[in-house]
Chain A
């Protein structure tokens, strides 16, 4: 354990921790655009610079190890000047289209410009302009909005381990692209959207089917209903409709989702969902009331039990349904109908 001083507070922390981690541990929030605990520290955005007494220059808190006796200031005048200057530089190369930008309301650049009172850039030079890559079915990449924090590239190479995207060109012309700039559809991208979830600005966004603002939605944390990994996710809901799904850091998924969990949620609100019970009458399925459907089933159960015994009735429960529902179906079969003929598709 080492002890350092941050903004006048003593902090004790494990050796090898960064200044950023030390600050977080006592609730001191240092702004960042590129930090992600899952990644090797890369120190790209430089917004998290802090002042360390005795150091030659400002240091990036996300990648500088805390050391014993260090005295750190996270919001000193020189720190704020540098942060403002860096935001000024970012904004100088970023469209000011927050009014129509789909990221508005949860854009870190927007939040930091607000925090540090940067209304517009003081530079009026060249701005980047790239064509949107809309070739992926589920998300688009708008490099014009990219601030090159690098998170998407590193999430793809270090967390998802797919290496579909990379940095292309250098200097001011640097942008995130695919090998040979062939576009996302022709890359090795598996559409997991984990880069999209990492993007702090509007450069990587899910393709929306309806318009909504992030401040209009409710978020509900739940568990993915596809495979058995049990990824944690949030359903974003507007007007009783799931409009987007986002990964949440859970035990098993480390903040990741796959294409199915992330983008294949249309079934929930699909027009072909069953809305009423149906009973086959004269060979055709007809909509009926719940009462009638229950009657038909209950009568059939009684009938079969009487004629052939309870073991002539079989139930298939569902590996898709809730634990509680599975329990109740086994109880229905065993306690109410009286048979152990209950199974599910574990083998398929």
Chain B
């Protein structure tokens, strides 16, 4: 292997790739050749670094210089200054949001300090398209150990003792699931990986597949050995082209290297894998719907039991785990159950990856030990709320999670605590809401999503989400009554209690949790016809304050619907409330702050 004096890591994740990180890489390579540095410096396209807010990200080792928001035009500077002359380009380094302090090294960045990367350990570190790099970072060692030194029962025992629980949302003990599948009777068994990440804004599974696909290949082969399966399916959204491409490369490389296929490591164990593309239906993340979709049927959940462990794909026993769950497996095998169990809380072991979004400074992907408090996640890792606004709530668990208010910020994050608060872990979505968010509107936003994504099979979910959505529309429009609020609540409880699958059973969570913690906002909409956050347009009025109006007419000129009248220089301007579409253009345009929202 050639030795290089410097390594330049450029993020090739979806976020940075869409900000031209591909061209940045090309540019680096061209300039290195031009300067004769191509034998000394190596450019590595990695997976996601997590701090997407700062993308495109370029990290130069051995210094660990953390360059953020790099443009193609910055590349010559980095090459000429840093790589040629050894001078770090301070202007391009990442600056902390709160302190505005420049971070010299990635190790100093607050975003990473409280993180503990297990599932994401190779993301942003290795080139995901190179099996050699994966192997250099202990890749496929766990599979080797398992196949040559352990019995299937020993593997299951380690997974059980590690305390790992399913990262897809349910939190079911992974080892127990493996054991069920192993014990199920069947001439054929399957291992399947749920990579149908459907929560809006969530991208932890995508990051793992893009940044460390071999970890999934290795883990599924281990699982296949443990449960007695020789075939694996990865069900991944077709909207993840980079993930699909890199996973396919990983599968092909593993096959070429004898790490998949027949007689792996000469042990007689056979395991092969296949990718199945999903068409982007949220419900296909539900395990029985996912199985139906893999079988080529309409993605509709079915009743359980029988559970997939007994009757899964083509009615054969099937082990189905999510991407992040699998990503933990090789590390658990290598470092031991006790090591993993030492991280986290009593009932939730290990770490959890979250996709942090919304009103937050450090939008991105973080992996923190279970038991980290919401406050630490949002403020220490996430860097807090931008623009000095006040925190209102954090919505966890994707569209069917709940909204947790400020008073519970010190709750340690684990499966059971989040459920107790009326929310859930889900696959790890974390959306921060500030004082400018209307909670009724937030509930409606999520209902809009779940209503559309309901598969249509069972009555409560299909019909009920529609009616919840309609009631929320009514309230948001200021036409709701307290009866409607009461009806909303009963309906939400019925849907939660009577729906067939997880989608319907959790779809009312945004409504129920906002009703629980923010009932006053509903009441304000209904009783006072006011939206406290000033979001719901039907309840808004833009008014010209006569005392402040300088009669300049700029507002009238900007109004897209010509609903502002007045005489320039002579008359105070007036907004026709019937015609106003509440776009706010007049308020933004007024140089004298003479237009008020209320």
Among B60-68, B204-212, B218-226, B488-496, the stretch that binds chain A is B488-496
Which residues of the other chain, A, contact B302 by a CB distance below 8 angstroms? 40, 42-43
* Chain B 414-455 per-residue mask, 1 if CB under 8 angstroms from chain A, else 0: 000000000000000000000000000000000000011111
Knowing A122-B487, A123-B470, say if A174 contacts B500 (CB, 8 Å). no
* Chain B 365-384 per-residue mask, 1 if CB under 8 angstroms from chain A, else 0: 00000000000000000000
Which of B281, B298, B467, B505 has the most A CB atoms < 10 Å from its CB? B467
Contact check: which of A57, A64, A85, A174 meets B462 at CB < 8 Å? A174
Which residues of the other chain, B, contact A41 by a CB distance below 8 angstroms? 303
* Cross-chain contact B457 with A150 (CB below 8 angstroms): yes
* Cross-chain contact A170 with B491 (CB below 8 angstroms): no
Q: How far is the CB of B458 from chain A (nearest CB, A)?
A: 5
Say whether B464 faces chain A, with CB atoms less than 8 Å apart: yes
* Cross-chain contact A46 with B454 (CB below 8 angstroms): no
Q: How far is the CB of A40 from chain B (nearest CB, A)?
A: 8
Contact check: which of A40, A42, A123, A173 meets B467 at CB < 8 Å? A123
* Cross-chain contact A90 with B462 (CB below 8 angstroms): no
Which residues of the other chain, B, contact A42 by a CB distance below 8 angstroms? 302-303, 457
**Nearest A residue (CB) for B282:** A170
Knowing A85-B491, A123-B467, say if A171 contacts B459 (CB, 8 Å). no
Say whether A49 faces chain B, with CB atoms less than 8 Å apart: yes
Within 8 A of B (CB), among A77-91: 78, 81-82, 85-86, 89-90
* Cross-chain contact A57 with B498 (CB below 8 angstroms): yes
Within 8 A of B (CB), among A31-81: 40-47, 49, 57-58, 60, 63-65, 78, 81
* Cross-chain contact A90 with B456 (CB below 8 angstroms): no
Which residues of the other chain, B, contact A81 by a CB distance below 8 angstroms? 490, 494
* Chain B 483-525 per-residue mask, 1 if CB under 8 angstroms from chain A, else 0: 0000100110010111110000100000000000000000000
* Cross-chain contact B500 with A60 (CB below 8 angstroms): yes
**Nearest A residue (CB) for B473:** A125
Q: How far is the CB of B437 from chain A (nearest CB, A)?
A: 25
A42 to B289, CA, bound (A): 13
* Cross-chain contact A57 with B497 (CB below 8 angstroms): yes
Knowing A46-B460, A122-B487, A172-B462, say if A167 contacts B497 (CB, 8 Å). no
Say whether B250 faces chain A, with CB atoms less than 8 Å apart: no
Say whether A126 faces chain B, with CB atoms less than 8 Å apart: yes
Q: How far is the CB of B447 from chain A (nearest CB, A)?
A: 11
Contact check: which of A46, A65, A125, A171 meets B456 at CB < 8 Å? A171
Knowing A46-B458, A86-B460, A150-B457, say if A172 contacts B494 (CB, 8 Å). no
Say whether B322 faces chain A, with CB atoms less than 8 Å apart: no
Say whether B316 faces chain A, with CB atoms less than 8 Å apart: no
Which residues of the other chain, B, contact A92 by a CB distance below 8 angstroms? 463, 467
Within 8 A of B (CB), among A168-192: 169-174
Knowing A43-B303, A167-B298, A171-B454, say if A126 contacts B494 (CB, 8 Å). no
**Nearest B residue (CB) for A147:** B459
**Nearest A residue (CB) for B499:** A46
A41 to B453, CA, bound (A): 23
A241 to B598, CA, bound (A): 73
Which residues of the other chain, B, contact A167 by a CB distance below 8 angstroms? 298, 300, 456-457
Contact check: which of B462, B470, B497 meets A58 at CB < 8 Å? B497
**Nearest B residue (CB) for A65:** B305
Which residues of the other chain, A, contact B453 by a CB distance below 8 angstroms? 170-171
Q: How far is the CB of A209 from chain B (nearest CB, A)?
A: 34
Q: How far is the CB of A137 from chain B (nearest CB, A)?
A: 28
A171 to B300, CA, bound (A): 11
* Cross-chain contact A45 with B459 (CB below 8 angstroms): yes
A120 to B519, CA, bound (A): 29
* Cross-chain contact A125 with B467 (CB below 8 angstroms): yes
Say whether A199 faces chain B, with CB atoms less than 8 Å apart: no
Q: How far is the CB of A224 from chain B (nearest CB, A)?
A: 33
Q: How far is the CB of B208 from chain A (nearest CB, A)?
A: 28
Which residues of the other chain, B, contact A43 by a CB distance below 8 angstroms? 302-303, 458, 500
A81 to B489, CA, bound (A): 13
Within 8 A of A (CB), among B453-482: 453-460, 462-467, 470
Say whether A196 faces chain B, with CB atoms less than 8 Å apart: no
Which residues of the other chain, A, contact B491 by a CB distance below 8 angstroms? 85
- Interface majority SS (helix, strand, loop, mixed), chain B: helix
Say whether A148 faces chain B, with CB atoms less than 8 Å apart: yes
Which residues of the other chain, A, contact B498 by a CB distance below 8 angstroms? 46, 49, 57-58, 60, 82, 85-86
* Cross-chain contact B456 with A85 (CB below 8 angstroms): no
* Cross-chain contact A170 with B455 (CB below 8 angstroms): yes
* Cross-chain contact B303 with A93 (CB below 8 angstroms): no
Which of A47, A89, A93, A125 has the most B CB atoms < 10 Å from its CB? A89
* Cross-chain contact B281 with A90 (CB below 8 angstroms): no
Contact check: which of B298, B464, B487 meets A166 at CB < 8 Å? B298
* Cross-chain contact A171 with B458 (CB below 8 angstroms): no
Which residues of the other chain, A, contact B300 by a CB distance below 8 angstroms? 167
Which residues of the other chain, B, contact A93 by a CB distance below 8 angstroms? 463
A49 to B500, CA, bound (A): 10
Contact check: which of B457, B460, B497 meets A89 at CB < 8 Å? B460
Knowing A90-B463, A125-B466, say if A174 contacts B497 (CB, 8 Å). no
Within 8 A of B (CB), among A242-262: none
Q: How far is the CB of B167 from chain A (nearest CB, A)?
A: 21
Which residues of the other chain, B, contact A174 by a CB distance below 8 angstroms? 454-457, 462
A148 to B466, CA, bound (A): 15
Contact check: which of B455, B466, B494, B505 meets A82 at CB < 8 Å? B494
* Cross-chain contact A44 with B459 (CB below 8 angstroms): yes
Knowing A46-B499, A171-B451, say if A86 contacts B459 (CB, 8 Å). yes
Which residues of the other chain, A, contact B303 by a CB distance below 8 angstroms? 41-43, 60, 63-64
* Cross-chain contact A172 with B454 (CB below 8 angstroms): yes
Which residues of the other chain, A, contact B458 by a CB distance below 8 angstroms? 43-46
Which residues of the other chain, B, contact A147 by a CB distance below 8 angstroms? 459
Which of B281, B464, B494, B499 has the most A CB atoms < 10 Å from its CB? B494
A169 to B298, CA, bound (A): 10
Which residues of the other chain, A, contact B496 by a CB distance below 8 angstroms? 57
Which residues of the other chain, A, contact B490 by a CB distance below 8 angstroms? 81, 85
Which residues of the other chain, B, contact A90 by a CB distance below 8 angstroms? 459, 463
Within 8 A of B (CB), among A119-173: 122-123, 125-126, 147-148, 150, 166-167, 169-173
* Chain A 271-296 per-residue mask, 1 if CB under 8 angstroms from chain B, else 0: 00000000000000000000000000
* Cross-chain contact A89 with B459 (CB below 8 angstroms): yes
**Nearest B residue (CB) for A149:** B459
Which residues of the other chain, B, contact A63 by a CB distance below 8 angstroms? 303
Contact check: which of A57, A60, A64, A89 meets B463 at CB < 8 Å? A89
Q: How far is the CB of B450 from chain A (nearest CB, A)?
A: 9
Q: How far is the CB of A22 from chain B (nearest CB, A)?
A: 16
**Nearest A residue (CB) for B491:** A85
* Chain B 288-307 per-residue mask, 1 if CB under 8 angstroms from chain A, else 0: 00000000001010110100
Contact check: which of B456, B487, B494 meets A86 at CB < 8 Å? B494
A140 to B467, CA, bound (A): 29
A150 to B500, CA, bound (A): 14
Contact check: which of A40, A44, A85, A148 meets B500 at CB < 8 Å? A44
**Nearest B residue (CB) for A85:** B494
A108 to B487, CA, bound (A): 26
Within 8 A of B (CB), among A208-250: none
* Cross-chain contact B463 with A82 (CB below 8 angstroms): no
Contacts A170-B452, A171-B454 supplied; 8 other A-B pairs, CB < 8 Å: A57-B496, A63-B303, A85-B498, A86-B498, A166-B298, A170-B281, A172-B465, A174-B457
Residues in B lying within 8 Å of A, measured CB to CB:
281, 283, 298, 300, 302-303, 305, 451-460, 462-467, 470, 487, 490-491, 494, 496-500, 505
Please name 18 pairs of A and B residues whose Cβ atoms are closer than 8 Å in the assembled complex, sorted by A. Answer: A43-B302, A46-B498, A46-B499, A49-B497, A57-B497, A57-B505, A58-B497, A58-B498, A86-B494, A89-B467, A93-B463, A125-B470, A148-B456, A148-B457, A167-B300, A167-B456, A170-B456, A171-B453
The 6 tightest CB contacts between A and B, nearest first, are A174-B456, A63-B303, A89-B463, A125-B470, A57-B497, A85-B494
